[in-house]
């Protein structure tokens, strides 16, 4: 490819000295914060070496949109890493799999399966509302006995059951041992996966490759057994005329490919091997659980820190929905303040602060900078969402910034906002996640006031960096609002 501009490379961090200084630096900051700070010295877009790989860090929205949208196809690749290869059997999934016809095909199947649920008789909305109902009953029970609750396992189970319905047409009861095992392996994976690509320049991540790899392998093997079990059950009960869930949709594609082509090789080459199916459904299941749960946990933390925000959402709910029925998806347009709050949570604590690394598939460019094929590109979403030039008081939690001046509708305050990414690699679950966030939060806030248990300090706003940015553990006191005291939550919904 010819460049019409000078073949100028982005400013580069001095390789050895930086590693040297980083080694002696025990930064208290997580990678996304530190990479944001480095732009003061090197500019908004700069490059550095991670081990033997050249990596470009993008900290501003114009370059980010060039990478994701304008030259999206040039940057649609994914790098391989030891840990993601363990998780995905060498990239046979969607999120960590490189750009290929297989990848495109699997995205299409998942997309189609998710759309199907929008219309079907058991719509996503019904599934989510069913889970919101049982979540609220558990909060009521805890409230009646005056207990403060760690919401995390309850939120996780509600969210898991939604994605479990979509993927496997199944769900978990409280205390189900398979669910407990899932909680455990998934946390082990979140704590270890995808860290290896950063560890070269962030020695304070304190990864001990062997201990971490052992934990990862062990967790992945538990997960794989669960996936295999679901797969075998579905295969045994498969019926060409009834598509119950995502796994059925994937099986149907596989079986129809097998009928058209007699050789095993062709099924492998279009990416419909058993491995590919397992890894794709594993991605959707994993992403479906960890992302939405994390956002809900952050949302509750901010609602506890900002009781005035909570009250305003409740006033909006009281006047637009009332107390005689539960919120439904069609209320979304009438609850702009809740919508604005969700957007602000996704801004201030992005689920994936560095997205997933991208790779240049050919020689290309970002702005005036030349980029060689094979270069890795990290979009620092944290920088975009906390850019002082784009956001007034970026550290301040202020849902009002997403409202128009009358407070009646939404406002886009800055183009520097990409919580779900953009372009070819845009999140596949955006619509689902938004439905869940809206319904779970509206159901909870219609019925309860959330606060910190008496005598305890406010939950930390500090995130723990990993493949998702998780909050620390905390407890909540859920107090039924007038009219929603014990028992009445089930009354109203009927």
Annotated binding site for heme: 427
Question: Which of 138/205 has CB closer to ligand PLO?
Answer: 205
User: By the 8 A CB rule, do 367 and 11 touch?
Assistant: no
Question: Which of 95/450 has CB closer to ligand PLO?
Answer: 95
Q: Does 95 bind ligand HEM (CB under 6 A)?
A: yes
For the four alpha carbons of 333, 335, 341 and 346, in that order, the dihedral sign comes to negative
Which residues in 42-69 are b (16+ Cβ under 10 Å) and which e? bebbbbbbbeebbbbbbbbbebbbbbbe
- In DSSP terms, 77 is beta-bridged to 359
Tokens (6 digits) for 167 = 């993927």
335-364 mask for ligand HEM (x: CB under 6 A)? -----------x----xx--xx--------
H or E element in which residue 283 lies: helix 274-305
Q: Does 437 bind ligand PLO (CB under 6 A)?
A: no
Which alpha helices (DSSP H) does 261-273 contain, by range? 264-269
Tokens (6 digits) for 215 = 């934990």
Interface residue with ligand PLO among 216, 352, 354, 379 (CB under 6 A) is: 352
User: Per CB under 6 A, which region of 29-37, 51-59, 133-141, 289-297 contacts ligand HEM?
Assistant: 289-297
Closest approach of Cβ 290 to ligand PLO, in Å?
A: 4
261-290 mask for ligand PLO (x: CB under 6 A)? ----------------------x--xx--x
User: Per CB under 6 A, which region of 97-105, 136-144, 350-358, 383-391 contacts ligand PLO?
Assistant: 350-358
Residue (of 457, 32, 88, 60) closest to 279 by Cα position = 88
Closest approach of Cβ 379 to ligand HEM, in Å?
A: 7
321 Cβ contact partners less than 8 Å away, ≥ 6 residues apart? 327, 331, 334, 335, 442, 446
Question: Which of 13/57 has CB closer to ligand PLO?
Answer: 57
Q: How far is CA 162 from CA 132, 168, 439, in A?
A: 10, 10, 12
Distance separating alpha carbons of residues 75 and 55, to the nearest angstrom: 13
Residues 65-94 contacting ligand PLO, CB under 6 A? none
Closest approach of Cβ 193 to ligand PLO, in Å?
A: 5
Tokens (6 digits) for 35 = 């990479």
Residue (of 201, 272, 436) closest to 342 by Cα position = 436
User: By the 8 A CB rule, do 440 and 135 touch?
Assistant: yes
Q: Does 425 bind ligand HEM (CB under 6 A)?
A: yes
How many binding residues for ligand PLO (CB under 6 A)? 16
Q: Does 189 bind ligand PLO (CB under 6 A)?
A: yes
Question: Which of 143/345 has CB closer to ligand HEM?
Answer: 345
Closest approach of Cβ 284 to ligand PLO, in Å?
A: 8
Choose the one of ligand PLO, ligand HEM, none that binds residue 419, judging by a C-beta under 5 to 8 angstroms depending on kind: ligand HEM
Q: Does 421 bind ligand HEM (CB under 6 A)?
A: yes
CA Rg value for the chain: 23
Residues 449-488 contacting ligand PLO, CB under 6 A? 467-468
Q: Does 284 bind ligand HEM (CB under 6 A)?
A: yes
Q: How, if at all, do strands 53-58 and 376-379 pair?
A: parallel
User: By the 8 A CB rule, do 352 and 315 touch?
Assistant: no
Choose the one of ligand HEM, ligand PLO, none that binds residue 190, judging by a C-beta under 5 to 8 angstroms depending on kind: ligand PLO
Interface residue with ligand HEM among 88, 140, 291, 416 (CB under 6 A) is: 291
User: Which residue's CB atom is positioned nearest to ligand HEM?
Assistant: 429
Closest approach of Cβ 75 to ligand PLO, in Å?
A: 16
Tokens (6 digits) for 391 = 């956001």
DSSP string across 205-259:
G---HHHHHHHHHHHHHHHHHHHHHHHHHHHHT--TT---SHHHHHHHHHHHHHH
Which residues of the chain form contacts with ligand HEM (CB under 6 A)?
94-95, 107, 283-284, 287-288, 291-292, 295, 346, 351-352, 355-356, 419-421, 425, 427-429, 432-433
Which residues of the chain form contacts with ligand PLO (CB under 6 A)?
95, 186, 189-190, 193, 223, 283, 286-287, 290-291, 351-352, 356, 467-468
């Amino acid at each position: 490819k010819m460049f019409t501009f000078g073949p100028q490379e982005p400013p580069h961090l001095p390789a050895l000295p930086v590693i040297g200084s980083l080694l002696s630096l025990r930064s208290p900051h997580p990678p996304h914060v530190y990479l944001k700070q480095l732009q003061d010295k090197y500019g908004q877009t700069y490059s550095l070496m991670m081990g033997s790989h050249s990596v470009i860090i993008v900290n501003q929205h114009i370059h980010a949109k060039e990478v994701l949208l304008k030259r999206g196809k040039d940057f649609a690749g994914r790098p391989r890493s030891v840990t993601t290869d363990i998780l995905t059997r060498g990239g046979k999934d969607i999120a960590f799999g490189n750009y290929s016809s297989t990848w495109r095909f699997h995205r299409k199947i998942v997309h189609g399966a998710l759309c199907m649920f929008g219309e079907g008789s058991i719509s996503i909305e019904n599934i989510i509302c069913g889970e919101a109902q049982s979540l609220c009953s558990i909060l009521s029970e805890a409230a009646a006995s005056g207990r403060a609750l760690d919401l995390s396992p309850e939120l996780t189970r509600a969210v898991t059951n939604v994605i479990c319905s979509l993927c496997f047409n199944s769900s978990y009861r409280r205390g189900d041992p398979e669910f407990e095992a899932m909680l455990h392996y998934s946390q082990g994976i979140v704590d270890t996966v995808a860290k290896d690509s950063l560890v070269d320049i962030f020695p304070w991540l304190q990864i001990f490759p062997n201990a971490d790899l052992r934990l990862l392998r062990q967790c992945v093997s538990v997960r794989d057994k669960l996936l295999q079990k679901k797969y075998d059950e579905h295969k045994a009960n498969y019926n060409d005329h009834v598509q119950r869930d995502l796994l059925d949709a994937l099986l149907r594609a596989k079986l129809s490919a097998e009928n058209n082509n007699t050789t095993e090789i062709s099924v492998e080459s279009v990416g419909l091997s058993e491995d590919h199916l397992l890894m794709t459904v594993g991605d959707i299941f994993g992403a479906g659980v960890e992302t939405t749960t994390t956002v809900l946990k952050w949302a509750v933390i901010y609602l506890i820190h900002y009781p005035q925000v909570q009250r305003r959402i409740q006033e909006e709910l009281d006047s637009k929905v009332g107390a005689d029925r539960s919120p439904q998806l069609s209320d979304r347009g009438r609850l702009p303040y809740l919508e604005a709050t969700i957007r602000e949570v996704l801004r201030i604590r992005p689920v994936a602060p560095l997205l997933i690394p991208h790779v240049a598939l050919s020689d290309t460019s970002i702005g005036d900078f030349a980029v060689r094929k094979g270069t890795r590109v990290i979009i620092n979403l944290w920088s975009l969402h906390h850019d002082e030039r784009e956001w007034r008081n970026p550290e301040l939690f202020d849902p009002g910034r997403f409202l128009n001046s009358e407070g009646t509708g939404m406002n886009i305050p800055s183009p520097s906002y990409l919580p779900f990414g953009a372009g070819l690699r845009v999140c596949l679950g955006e619509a689902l996640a938004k439905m869940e966030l809206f319904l779970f939060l509206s159901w909870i806030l219609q019925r309860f006031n959330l606060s910190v248990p008496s005598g305890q300090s406010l939950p930390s706003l500090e995130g723990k960096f990993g493949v998702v940015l998780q909050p620390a553990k905390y407890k909540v006191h859920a107090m039924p609002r007038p009219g929603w005291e014990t028992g009445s939550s089930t009354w109203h919904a009927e």
